[in-house]
Amino acid sequence: MTERRVVITGIGGVTPMGNDWASSWEGLKAGKSGIAPIQGMDATDYVCKIGGEVRDYDPLPYFNNPKEGRRVDRYAALAMGAAKMAVVDSGVEVDKLDLTRVGVMVGSGIGGLATLEKNHQACMTKGPSRVSPFTIPMMISNIASGLISMEYGFGGPNMSIVTACATANNSVGEAWRMIKFGDADMFVAGGSEASFTPMGLAGFGNMRALSTRNDEPTRASRPFDVGRDGFVMGEGAGVVVIEELEHAKARGATIYAELAGYGVSADAYHLSAPSPDGTGPARAMAMALKHAGLNPEDIAYLNAHGTSTPLGDIAETKAMKIAFGDHAKNGLMVSSTKSMTGHLLGAAGAVELAACVMAVKEGIVPPTINLEDQDPECDLDYVPNEAREVEVNAAMSNGFGFGGHNATLVVRKFV
């Protein structure tokens, strides 16, 4: 790869904390929980009845043609909102860009599950003629990237990566790689998810992956705590604008941080469980550090995958100890913002990357809330319950997906 540097110039987000990134970040700093009883569907008969839903979101203002906004799955509608916010935040004047040099890489772990379920039901109960002709383009996982490119005319590299809960990390990382190779100058990259559907909730619930602390929703997501009993599902979208440094400087862009490193690996172990020794994620973290040209002690803050599952939190702690050595217990601050947002699945990595960017920019590390009785096997500094004001020169974000997919991103202050 060339030495082309890549910087982050725009952030957009729609999360259970708020329908824009500013309010989402304020909620994360305040240690606010976005988890509540599920309202978007009847969860009475499900083992898990709580989640991190996006509330009162109107996607139509984010589409040039509101008619098109009515013909998309919720996951794509969330993606479009976050993408539009990120582009606006970047300050770019689209009509002055070489549109063939701007790419889109916005993925989804599951895609249009609501569309699939709705039209399957129609087919089974009313016959095939009642299936919408928009079913396939609405449900496929690549359509968010396609829609965003069409909205702006971005004609550069365009694709969708599906690596479960590592999707957004891989999307941003592979966009970074394409800019480094010179295949594009700018990317709109991230992830989106909307899986509060009967199949989504039942599927995760019946594999015993979800918390059943239904009577205490705000306390249900508790990474690294002895009382954790599974993750809490969330929905939303996170998108960043990344671009080659000289391209950003030429247009006078405000730079949040430098996207410095990216690492990937596989556990090669199990469909859904993490490898218990942590070696797979450790390799991804080590690769990201190598690409960034940083030593372990250069990382002040790590936004953990930290899902609040009994096995996952221990395995990630082991991985951090392998990757960071003595620094893991002597200086590294770790937190899981999933304690507040829930697990946004394919969108999680982009939202958590944005939290890392803001930690670098503002010198504020968001907390891990609900950490009341720390698991002895999770023995690092997880920034319990209150945000911490401290200088952060470099930060790391982890994302791990079913199938053993591991992806890590590193950001640092731009100098």
Residues identified as active-site: 165, 305, 343
**3-state SS assignment for residue 388:** strand
Pairing of strands 364-365, 388-389: antiparallel
Tell me if 165 sits within 8 A of 402, measured CB to CB: yes
Distance between CA atoms of 21 and 33, rounded to whole angstroms? 15
Q: Which residues contact 136 (CB under 8 A, 6 or more apart)?
A: none
Question: Nearest to residue 373, comparing CAs of 233, 219, 232, 234?
Answer: 219
d(CA 117, CA 100) in angstroms, rounded, equals 36
Are the C-beta atoms of residues 203 and 116 closer than 8 Å to each other? no
Alpha-carbon gap, residue 297 to 326, rounded angstroms: 9
Give the E-state strand segments of 292-385 in sequence order. 301-303, 333-335, 364-365
DSSP string, 21-35: HHHHHHHHHHT----
Q: Which of 83, 100, 93, 91 is nearest to 184 (CA)?
A: 100
For the stretch 150-182, what's the b/e string if a residue is b when 16 or more beta carbons lie within 10 angstroms of its beta carbon? ebbebebbbbbbbbbbbbbbbbbbbbbebbbee
What is the dihedral sign for C-alpha 83, 88, 93, 95?
Answer: positive
Angle at 205 between CA 199 and CA 208, to 5 degrees: 145
Q: Can you give the length of the chain in residues?
A: 415
Q: Which residues, 6+ apart, have CB-to-CB distance to 38 below 8 Å?
A: 49, 50, 51, 53, 196, 201
How far is Cα 315 from Cα 143, in angstroms, rounded to an integer? 34
